[in-house]
Amino acid sequence: MTNNSSAAHLPAGASQDALSEVLQDFRLSGVNYGRLELHHPWSIAFPEQPLLRFHFVSQGPCWVHTEAEGWQELQEGDLVLLPQGVEHRLSSAPELTCNSIPSCQIKKLGGNVCEVIQQGDGAASMLFSGSMALGAYALHPLISLMPAIIKGCDVATHDPMVNPLIEAMAVEASEPRMGSATILSRMADLLTARLIRCWVKSHDSATTGWLAAIRDPHIGRALVAMHREPGKSWNLETLAGLAGQSRSVFAERFSAVLGEGAARYLARLRMQLAQELLAQNGMATAEVASRLGYESEASFARAFKRITNASPGAVRRATSGRMDMEFGL
């Protein structure tokens, strides 16, 4: 968690300052990657997870299925991003739902990269897939606003670097050489970050919601501060002071843009972070409570149960020891 209070010193006037402050913290850390060589017919299911996922198609055929969009065909050179890590399936043809993993040879290439090969006589598909963790808590509301699946070609017009990066990934994936896996993983991190930024740029006309709030020259400063220091003892007066507004004006504007009051927003933010710390980091409940500004573990547990309808212990037990065993992805 970043303890940086520079948000309090954002200059007044520029409506993009708070958004820039958030985006400059954008950090992706690759959790695992896989280079896949598969022959038709093949199909792989990817369960829901709290990490971002991406799939890059170096060679087809390849189809992707999500509950929101159904089956979509992916062309060679296509990259898809699943910001919330929703459940989905990749297949060499629509409607295929077999499990190809048992017939694959899986080989570690070093670090967090592996190679998955399925022999066969059918048409060959070559993919590079991976999971990533978002390192900046301030961006989590942004990720939650994004669609379940984003195709790189749909947002690439907002960044002239996207297509050259995709082309470079295609060359690297099709001709594996020494260090290719590492190079591909670095390209994937960079490309995913740029695609998310492209999506933000394509939604700059919103008048309500988180994107509108973070762009607001007043409300945006308060949002950045809360996300940077969620455990601080924020109240309406200190947040209004950051925004350069009276308490009544700030409270009214905050609720109008975000649809809820600042106290409710901060409480939900803290519980979202608490869930991540408990589930992904395995942090003790008492430490999470302290980090998020609660005076006691009991008061934190009550707030957690009220907002999430679950106990901190239940969240930890549900995720403890769980490992993503699907060929390292």
Final residue belonging to a domain, choices 178, 201, 224: 201
Q: Is the pLDDT of residue 1 over 70?
A: no
- CATH code for the domain of 292: 1.10.10.60
Can you give the residue range of the structural domain that contains 165? Answer: 28-201
Q: Say whether both 118 and 141 belong to one domain.
A: yes
Q: Is the pLDDT of residue 8 over 50?
A: no
Q: Say whether both 223 and 145 belong to one domain.
A: no
Q: Give the pLDDT mean for 139-164.
A: 83
Q: Say whether both 173 and 63 belong to one domain.
A: yes
**Interval 103-125: pLDDT, tens:** 999 988 767 888 899 999 999 99
Give the residue among 267, 273, 218 at the shortest CA–CA distance from 10.
Answer: 218
Q: Say whether both 41 and 16 belong to one domain.
A: no
Final residue belonging to a domain, choices 201, 216, 248: 201
pTM of the model: 0.73
Q: Say whether both 18 and 33 belong to one domain.
A: no
Confidence (pLDDT) at 290: 93
Q: Does 324 reside within a domain?
A: no
